Structure 1
Amino acid sequence: MSQAYYDFSLPWNFGFNYAVNYSVSYVNNGTTGYRKNVTQTVSFNGSLNLTPKTGITFQGGYDIKARKLTTSSVSITRDLHCWQMSFSWIPFGYHKSWSFNIGVKAASLSDLKYDKSQSMYDNMY
């Protein structure tokens, strides 16, 4: 008897995190006092192996108080037998950038590689 469905078993993992940070700082701006600050963030991360030699990892989050997405990234890696190739991308935020790398896996030939990247740090304001 044949199976009536396709087996989508891909190695993967996924994580989810909620964090609360409470801090008190001393403020001296003419009146002595303390400033209380509460931050809340939700973050996620994960990875997925599309094939035995190709993988994707990702991470991101949300700052609840600031109502903004936190720095998020996506990376893709590919094992090319004797070579390793990777691409990383941070699509938005202060660290907006991308990078591409391909290089020999052998440690004795680690200088045989090609790196290309671009960072865009001018979008802070």
Structure 2
Amino acid sequence: MKLSLSQYPEAIAQAAQVVNEIEHRLTEARQHLAHLEGNADKIVAFEANLKNDNQRKARRFEILQMNLEYKRALDVLNRLTTEKANAVARLEHLRNEFSVAKLDRQMAIALKLTGLETRELVGL
């Protein structure tokens, strides 16, 4: 749906707000993942039978893979990342449409002015 020139600023502002809201939810999801990973690190830190970094990394991975909440949080992060990409694409599309609409309007004005000047030169 093509908007009128005066409708674009509001539509662009709304699209930017959607991007900001998704970014906020992404930040929350990242913080939640960091919390879950911190808990896994804490568990690994107190397991004395792990002898080296590779064993600790493998144990951490195992703990996170068994955690259903972690899997759900990763799914949310992936969904929000896709959602943000789509919202940013929509925002850019609106901005580009607005630029084209402004150029079309400027062209129409220029053509009218050119037509008037031509008629004046001819004496009409």
TM-score for both structures, normalised by structure 2 = 0.20
Larger proportion of helix: 2
Larger proportion of strand: 1
Larger Rg: 2
Q: Which has the higher contact order (CA 8 A, sep 6+)?
A: 2
TM-score for both structures, normalised by structure 1 = 0.20
